[in-house]
A and B are shown apart, each in its own frame.
Chain A
Amino acid sequence: MAKVIVVTSGKGGVGKTTTSASLGTGLADRGHKTAVIDFDVGLRNLDLIMGVERRVVYDFVNVIQGEATLKQALIKDKQSDKLFILAASQTRDKDALTQDGVGRVMDELRAEFDYVICDSPAGIEKGAFMAMYFADEAFVVTNPEVSSVRDSDRVLGILAAKSRRAEQGGDRIKEHLVLTRYNAERVAKGEMLSVEDVKEILAIPLLGVIPESPAVLSSSNAGVPVIRDMTSDAGLAYTDLIARFLGEDRPHRFLAPHKKSLFGKWFGER
């Protein structure tokens, strides 16, 4: 039976899709059969970030409406035979995501996979709500910035009140904080909220801190999840995050400012 994980944030542009792509890839690379689903109907992008945009034939809505089977719609990753992507529909509107329909697809996915990752759209409307409704665990992606933190708190309130687990009185959804676009230099200067600040405000356990990194953009340019770029700080941070999620004890890296060497100082290293 799969674990269903929603990657959510409330605010847009904080790194939900980047995190979903790397989370899916990381879990698959660790041997878990994983499906990543794009819930952003009308504005699909997961396919692009994962580099499968030219192989989308059927999408999530096609499966919900019985126009394609799940098997036909799942796109297998080129590098991993344990990783599958289900694209969002580009042409339908989000009303196509009915609770019954999404529930049926989720049941089918649960039977087949170890992990089902639901990449939520921004906002707290239908698509976002459906992405979180069936979740067992939630990755709350937050930037160290006031509007993102506030929106994350809103989303946590909704998870606790309106998810299926909340409605049926089951166990609480397990929440994990993923702090992205972290700039340790600016934190040290007092220009950015620190990990500790965000932890204190949101009061959920920290799973990982992803440093602000040029590698995120270059990976999305290439359509390869940044976790596959093992030379980058963001890639390493996501690798650590997956290991931690799977129960390993890994210290947090990239929380302290990069130390300039004397040599670097002389020659203007940044």
Chain B
Amino acid sequence: MDWLKIFRAEKKSSAQTAKERLLITVAHQRQGEGNGLHFLPRLREELLAVVRKYVQVPDEAVQFNVQRDEGLEVLELNITLPEKERRGGVASH
């Protein structure tokens, strides 16, 4: 029956759905492998140790933020100094 086809045409085939889901999942997966930022936790530890040579700061004083645009990756690093010694947050890229 032809009128049934009208309904069917609107629906994506399951293979198409599979492909779209895979493209997204795989792209995510590759980012995780290839971004090379798996050293961030260690970098954070080491930075904390260095900062603490000069200023006593809590663990959460060192914060990272990673931003990705096409072909460009920005690692933003924030070190918040404690109230007493504050001369403003030190930010570097």
Q: Which of B15, B19, B21, B29 contacts A153 (CB 8 A)?
A: B29
Q: Which residue of B lies closest to A196 (CB)?
A: B19
Chain B residues within 8 Å of A81, by CB: none
Q: Which of A146, A157, A192 contacts B22 (CB 8 A)?
A: A146
Chain A residues within 8 Å of B18, by CB: 145-146, 193, 197
Bound complex: CA A57 to CA B63 (Å): 59
**In the complex, are the beta carbons of B30 and A190 less than 8 A apart?**
no
Chain B residues within 8 Å of A145, by CB: 18
Interface flag for A106 (CB, 8 Å): no
**In the complex, are the beta carbons of A187 and B15 less than 8 A apart?**
yes
Interface flag for B65 (CB, 8 Å): no
The smallest C-beta distance from B8 to any residue of chain A, in angstroms, reads 10
**In the complex, are the beta carbons of A149 and B22 less than 8 A apart?**
yes
Interface flag for B91 (CB, 8 Å): no
Bound complex: CA A190 to CA B11 (Å): 11
Interface flag for B74 (CB, 8 Å): no
Known: A150-B22, A150-B25. A194 touches B30 (CB 8 A): no
Chain B: residues with CB nearer than 8 A to chain A?
Answer: 13-16, 18-19, 21-23, 25-26, 29-30, 33-34
Q: Mind listing 22 A-B residue pairs with CB under 8 Å?
A: A145-B18, A146-B21, A146-B22, A149-B22, A149-B26, A150-B22, A153-B26, A153-B29, A153-B30, A154-B29, A157-B34, A187-B15, A189-B13, A190-B14, A190-B16, A191-B13, A191-B14, A191-B15, A197-B15, A200-B19, A201-B22, A201-B23
Chain A: residues with CB nearer than 8 A to chain B?
Answer: 145-146, 149-150, 153-154, 157, 161, 187, 189-194, 197, 200-202
5 tightest Cβ-Cβ pairs between the two chains A and B:
A190-B13, A157-B33, A197-B19, A153-B26, A190-B15
